[in-house]
A and B are shown apart, each in its own frame.
Chain A
Amino acid sequence: MNLFKKAALASSIAIGLSLSASAWAENIAIVGAKIHTVSAAGIIYKGTVLIKDGRIQQVIEGTDVPSGYRTIDAEGKVITPGFIGAATSLGLVEVSSSAGTVDAQAEPHAISTVGAALDVQYALNNDSTLIPITRIEGFTSAATGLGGSDQLFLGQGAFITLATTYRPVLKAQAFMKLNVGNSGVDNNGGSRAALWVAINQSFDEAKFAKSYAMDPSQNWLGLTTMADAKALIPVLDGKMPLVVNADRAADIVQVIALKKRHTDLNIILASGVEAWRVADELAKNNIPVILDPESNLPGAFDQIGATLENAARLHKAGVTVVIGMDTHNIRLATQHAGNAVANGLPHSAGIAALTINVAKIFGMDEQIGSLESGKVADLVIWSGDPLEVTQTAEQVFIQGEQIDMTSRQTKLRDRYLKRNALKPVGYTRP
């Protein structure tokens, strides 16, 4: 490796490490694209994005670029803010089944009886090959958390950047997960009659813990452990969003009632297969919904009302709609959003469901989620409509850096596209 390459590599790693380091980053002007600003400025049909010091300096109409910028021609292309994975386990799992340690699945441990204490911020591995596979498809950050556990709460999730960095966490303890649907019930007493009383008890203990000396010298005979109760305090105060999985209307009504009992709770409904049936109440109580818009089958008796029009109906009622499917294939959220649009969701709401709405519900909207002056320069140049299955992310920028658009998958593709049949395949280096 020559010196120049070494220097370039060092700087790109440094930029990834923290935003302040990207003061070294070059100034870039991306010129001539149709720009979804996802802000009050709406869509700019032919505009220019100016990037300086890793942030959006300005989004302007037209193609006149001030001096001092490296220009990238994006005429005929589409630019959006970087998409945000709203429900993922990115960085916590490499291969989910039969392939060794999976940090996205926790087993019982003495530290926690109800699961609230678990915290994924320590478990993140940004060398996971899933990160580049996901980011080259236009996703620049993600909410990541446990995918499963047998406990009541699924612990505290983190909000991460998908940049190349050893320190991906943008916000630790970014949300608490809870599942009150059938699958959560099955692991917690087998009946909602047990599950909900346990939830109420947990929050009551957290409330008590606020004014109790929470140290090992004290007696603590609660259902929760001390670590659990402490973890639930910021949830009670509304400082940490509570992401609650629920599908049937009756469960969602219970979730709304929980918010009425603890008025500071900042609740995000997740999955929400029958959310459309209580859309007005959700809107009135300011509860956003993270949903899979393709979920249209009665997979269980708490999903009987499933419909492809869930997203459209919720949006129409004034509910903030976020699209996320809780899968390692979160890159398919663009297609899912497109299908929500095909079934009645306005296109602009489909884009918002992958950008600003996700940023808002996780309290990240001052930094990301739209293309506005001062925000972090997470953005994507698309070949066309990003919700159209035949279009693609052509170039992704994270924190102002033009990222390498390769992944393990593109390398496998390139190896086998140009395989030298005269030698074993290991000698073809893409």
Chain B
Amino acid sequence: MLNTKLKLGLALAVSVALVTGCSDDKQEERQESVTGIDKNPFPSTYQKIDSKPIVITNVTILDGIGGKIEDGEILLKDGVIVEVGKGIRLPSGAIEIDGKGKWLTPGIIDNHSHLGVYPSPSTRSHSDGNEMTSPVTAEVWAEHSIWPQDPGFQRALAGGVTSLQILPGSANLFGGRSVTVKNLPNRTIQDMKFPEAPYGIKMACGENPKRVYGDKGGPMTRMGNVAGYRQAWIQAQEYQTKWAQYETELEAGGSPKRPSRDLNLDTLAGVLDGDIIVHMHCYRADDMGTMMDVMKEFNYKIGTFHHAIEAYKIADKLAENNVCSAMWADWWGFKMEAYDGIKENIPMVHAANACAIVHSDSDLGIQRLNQEAAKAWADGKRAGIDISQADAWQWLSANPAKSLGIFDKTGSLEAGKNADVVLWSTDPFSTYAQADKVFIDGAMVYDRSNPESWPVSDFELGQIAEGDAK
């Protein structure tokens, strides 16, 4: 069995991956509780693509959790990583890919994207990311805005992005629910939802809500913002209590009066219950400091501050409170709360033992997050913060996976995890590195050397330069 390994050309490998049909994954189930409320009314219908086992050999591996293996090997089988290391025994029928001179990493996870909700082309018809009708709109869900035909998904795939979180915009104090997806857009949004990933909620600090609502009834100040969060949490606590009582009485065999249901408070109570992760757009150190106290006041958890331009000023406090920071390498200065951006933000947060994440918030930036990490890594090094490349890769995969609550499933090269993997043409901490091959759940879903195999969105079919090297 061991010597029947197949050495197939890359084109054949892709056709194997793409043509042999879908696996028999069980579809995600709806979650009905005793109250009759379905907590998962839009279950994932994602299906991984079947593939023969794939072995990549002779490759430099960054495992995403701090390990580096020279001349390493990895086996991907049945959608998962079976083994990482050396001397792996090849299963029969496995496709072997020689990784000589190349690097292998976990797939990049962008925990801040607006692909699909602000798709290309960015027409008014497509502008579905900000429900700017009220400062508290936790009732809206980003997945109901996502257009899976946004060509941005395919561009991100060519940059090695295997999973991403799509968030509502930052106009509102509470912008609505986010959703985590596999970067395999298909006919409906449910087709790309990351199975069993928890929901997130988008919140926003600072300038945006007060700018949007300043002349629309408020908030018009930062203090107005904070009053708005607190007022909403008070209502959510009352709602949570009402429903908990109802549930308790129901379970005790009583016939309590059913409280009226509120979609906004459903989501906020979900946060207080610990089921929904808070993703908070927050630039300034003082804003983050305030929000960590609001978090304690209402006993919920902020998972990640997004954009976190000034995280370096309070990295110790972020570590203490176990809140991640999702950051750009060098964006700064486009508004006052971004004025104090520095290039060493990410390594300084990392050095304080806080959770650092490189994010994009951009349909262009998402295509080269490895370069953003490389810049931050190099800038840190020059400032005396010596972090290994292997450790720095946590900013791109493991930490965003933790921030999204999916690190048990993806985000590192460990046996049993989703085989979400990128084979890079060279050291990915280089401008010239390109994602040669991208694997999601063990199937090759992007192969730079085979243009015929590149996915093309419906939108781009029949347009100028369809299928061009994008």
User: Which residue numbers of A lie inside 8 Å of B, CB to CB?
Assistant: 95-99, 130, 133, 249, 274, 277, 294-301, 303-309, 328-329, 331-332, 335, 338-339, 341-343, 387-392, 409-410, 412-413, 416-417, 425
Give the nearest-CB partner of B425 in chain A: A342
Q: A304-B463, A339-B368 are known contacts. Are A299 and B121 too (CB-CB below 8 A)?
A: yes
Whole-angstrom CA separation of A413 from B310 in the bound complex: 11
CB <8 Å contact, A390 and B374: yes
Contact with A along B353-373 (1 / 0, CB 8 A): 000000000011001100100
Beyond the given pairs A95-B339, A304-B463, A412-B340, 10 more chain A to chain B contacts, judged by CB atoms under 8 angstroms and listed by A's residue number, are A98-B207, A130-B333, A298-B121, A303-B121, A304-B465, A306-B470, A332-B330, A389-B431, A409-B342, A410-B342
What is the size category of the interface that chain B forms with chain A? 35 or more
Residues of A with C-beta under 8 A to B377: 390
Residues of B with C-beta under 8 A to A307: 465, 468-470
Give the nearest-CB partner of B120 in chain A: A297
Residues of A with C-beta under 8 A to B343: 409, 413
Q: A298-B151, A307-B470, A416-B313 are known contacts. Are A328 and B334 too (CB-CB below 8 A)?
A: yes
| Of the residues B123, B155, B211, B378, contact of A98 by C-beta under 8 Å | B211
Whole-angstrom CA separation of A343 from B432 in the bound complex: 8
CB <8 Å contact, A297 and B431: no
Does B257 make an interface contact (CB < 8 A)?
no
Task: Name 30 interchain pairs, CB-CB below 8 A, sorted by A.
Answer: A95-B335, A97-B334, A99-B335, A130-B333, A133-B333, A277-B464, A294-B364, A296-B364, A296-B470, A297-B120, A297-B364, A298-B463, A299-B120, A301-B123, A303-B121, A304-B121, A305-B464, A307-B465, A308-B469, A335-B375, A341-B431, A341-B432, A342-B433, A343-B469, A388-B432, A389-B374, A391-B378, A392-B378, A410-B342, A416-B312
Least distance between A105 CB and chain B CB atoms (Å)? 13
Give the nearest-CB partner of A387 in chain B: B431
Contact with A along B373-387 (1 / 0, CB 8 A): 011011100111000
Whole-angstrom CA separation of A157 from B152 in the bound complex: 34
Contact with A along B429-444 (1 / 0, CB 8 A): 1111110000000000
Query: Considering the complex, which residues of chain B in the window 35-75 have a beta carbon less than 8 Å from any beta carbon of chain A?
Result: none
Whole-angstrom CA separation of A417 from B380 in the bound complex: 11
Least distance between B111 CB and chain A CB atoms (Å)? 21
Q: A95-B335, A328-B333 are known contacts. Are A390 and B378 too (CB-CB below 8 A)?
A: yes
Residues of B with C-beta under 8 A to A296: 155, 364, 367, 470
Does B331 make an interface contact (CB < 8 A)?
yes
Residues of B with C-beta under 8 A to A133: 333
Residues of B with C-beta under 8 A to A390: 374-375, 377-378, 429-430
Q: A306-B470, A307-B470, A390-B374 are known contacts. Are A342 and B432 too (CB-CB below 8 A)?
A: yes
Does B460 make an interface contact (CB < 8 A)?
yes
Whole-angstrom CA separation of A263 from B382 in the bound complex: 52
Query: Considering the complex, which residues of chain B in the window 424-467 have a beta carbon less than 8 Å from any beta carbon of chain A?
Result: 429-434, 459-460, 463-465
CB <8 Å contact, A392 and B465: no
Whole-angstrom CA separation of A391 from B368 in the bound complex: 17
Residues of B with C-beta under 8 A to A392: 378-379, 382
Whole-angstrom CA separation of A425 from B344 in the bound complex: 18
Residues of B with C-beta under 8 A to A306: 470
Does B243 make an interface contact (CB < 8 A)?
no
CB <8 Å contact, A388 and B431: yes
